[in-house]
Amino acid sequence: MPDTRNNLNWVTCRFEEMSPFQVYSLLKLRQQIFIIEQECIFPEIDGLDPVCLHILALDGNEVLAATRIVGPGLDPDHAEQGDRPAIGRVVTSEVLRGQGIGRVLMARAIEACADNFAGKPIYLNAQLYLRDFYQGLGFVQFGDEYDEDGIAHISMERPA
């Protein structure tokens, strides 16, 4: 598989700054991974995207990796987030897996949190199987494992 890391255009933007093609591609990618691949029926389009900061890895208008940062107090379904920004909907296209794109994406998200929410720890609602990946980025689990939409999850925090 070719190494496509150098061909990606990284963008940090608000939802309204995305083109319609980028929005479509983002939602299509998240649907493909979170609903189809993971066989999880849940309301993926949850109303939060318009109030989030997004980090996208683009090939033209095609979104190949993405995440979003939810500001404190914006997600009514995750009160445990508290006054911390949260990184969520972390997704990488199948064609990029194994190339370190997830680490690059998370590093950019952590940097965006530091720029926009200085001095605050970062919250993460992680799928359990990714615990080691997120621990390698400085996140620490707190609380017990829980089920969310049929998938084991844990709460994690990266200290400020």
3-state SS, residue 77: coil
> Rounded to whole angstroms, how far apart are CA atoms 105 and 97?
12
Residues contacting residue 33 through CB under 8 Å, at least 6 positions apart: 91, 92, 93, 94
* pLDDT tens readout for residues 127-155: 999 999 999 999 999 999 998 878 899 99
> Rounded to whole angstroms, how far apart are CA atoms 143 and 126?
12
Q: Record the pTM.
A: 0.90
Token output for 98: 């194994």
- Average pLDDT of the residues of the chain: 90
* pLDDT tens readout for residues 83-138: 999 999 999 999 998 899 999 999 999 999 999 999 999 999 999 999 999 999 99
